[in-house]
Amino acid sequence: MRVWGLAVLVLAGCANAGEGGPLDASTRLDTGGGSDDGGGSGSAGECASGQLASNISASGEVTCAPLDTLSKQAVGDHCSAYLGWRDSCDGCSSPPVKWGRAGTASCSPGIGTNNTCTMPTLGGAAVHMFGLDLDGDMDGNDKLYGGLHCTVDTASDGVAPCPAGQLVDGFNGTAWTCSSFAEAAIAYVQSSCSVYLGWQDNCDGCTNPPTKWGSTSEVSCANGAGADNTCIAPTALGTETVRLFGLNPDGDVDGNDKLHVGLRCDSPTPTGGMQTAKCPPGQFVKATTTGTGFRCESAAPAIASYFAAHCTLYFGWHDSCDGCITPPTKWGMVRVGFCQNGVGADDTCSKLTLGQQVDMFGLSPDGNVDENDVLYVGFRCD
């Protein structure tokens, strides 16, 4: 989308598109609709809500990019949910011996005999699901691990018109500069979004909060309640280093138990302001002005809005499925502020206060969870 703020502008020796600087006092024009920023300068070109600049011409023409599209590419291509298990680990802080991951575009069985990847249609969406195959009964000395991990490819900063996946973040004196939007999007998810994992005994169809639970993001982990739960220091899982929360149930996990999962993100504070050289980290150019600077805006609120509306954590279970690739027979899903029971009697959705308010899906297995059972996890952004 291109936004024109100037009707005519003639500059001696003006630069090509992408090389124009902030309009200085000698080139101010009355745009007939520009707002005053308190410094005597109006808006030359401004992106609409949910968009930020991907190019700025010498005349102040702003080409804008929709942040929903960029957010989907960044988070969908780079974030995965992890699920793991370890036997004889009552209160231990060791990493899982079996684990895998699933994201929007891919799935990996990680490490563990009979772990699987499959892509069932759940609620009308094709979802990559990792299937964790347990070795033995899941009981009081076992540990179930969960985490959310995002990677990002480090890209060299460019100049406008911005390379794919980059937005305008400043002016270096001769050209408008660009930096990676994906790095900003992943930084928000890593610092603000957490996976919750919980357990409760004697809760067949109940909507009570888990008696043992915890949460983890990329930068922090918390044992909310429950002895022997642990936060696992970032550990190597394949080629990635992942922070995990480890949940220890108290006793056998069977048909009257409930395993809970949730997904929550902190709400970012909108930030922005006038700059003359470089936007602060996580901010990009929103508008040019007829003054000596340009206006920056944080991308975090738009990223948070996209994540809450479009990114879903799936959790499921299947009995008698040792190494099988069939879909879960019981499953549900959660997003930020949303939960849905997909298929399965006694599964529940609850809005719970676990330090913060979080929507939790509660999965009630039918019978003992043992070596021929599979627990599934998926993460998808549409």
One pLDDT digit (tens) per residue for the chain, 382 residues: 444 433 323 233 333 334 445 544 222 222 233 333 333 344 569 999 999 999 999 888 899 999 999 999 999 999 999 999 999 999 999 999 999 999 999 999 999 999 999 999 999 999 999 999 999 999 999 999 999 999 988 878 999 999 999 999 999 999 999 999 999 999 999 999 999 999 999 998 899 999 999 999 999 999 999 999 999 999 999 999 999 999 999 999 999 999 999 999 999 999 999 999 999 999 999 999 887 899 999 999 999 999 999 999 999 999 999 889 999 999 999 999 999 999 999 999 999 999 999 999 999 999 999 999 999 999 999 9
- Counting the structural domains of the chain, the total is 1
Look up residue 381 and give its two tokens: 């952004």
Distance CA 234, CA 149 (A): 10
In a domain? residue 55: no
pLDDT on residue 58: 86
Considering the entire predicted model, what is its pTM?
0.89
pLDDT on residue 15: 36
Residue 219 sits in which domain range? 104-152+193-266+311-381
In a domain? residue 341: yes
In a domain? residue 128: yes
In a domain? residue 13: no
In a domain? residue 347: yes
In what side-by-side order are the strands of the sheet with 129-133?
116-118, 129-133, 374-381, 311-318, 330-335, 338-343
pLDDT on residue 5: 39
In a domain? residue 334: yes
In a domain? residue 229: yes
Distance CA 124, CA 343 (A): 13
Identify any residues that bridge with 298 across adjacent strands, giving them in sequence order.
Answer: 283
How would you classify the pairing of strands 176-180 and 166-171? antiparallel
Count the neighbouring beta carbons within 10 Å of the beta carbon of residue 156. Answer: 9
pLDDT on residue 23: 47
In a domain? residue 15: no
pLDDT on residue 18: 40
What does the DSSP 8-state code read for residue 176? E
Distance CA 369, CA 186 (A): 35
Distance CA 197, CA 260 (A): 6
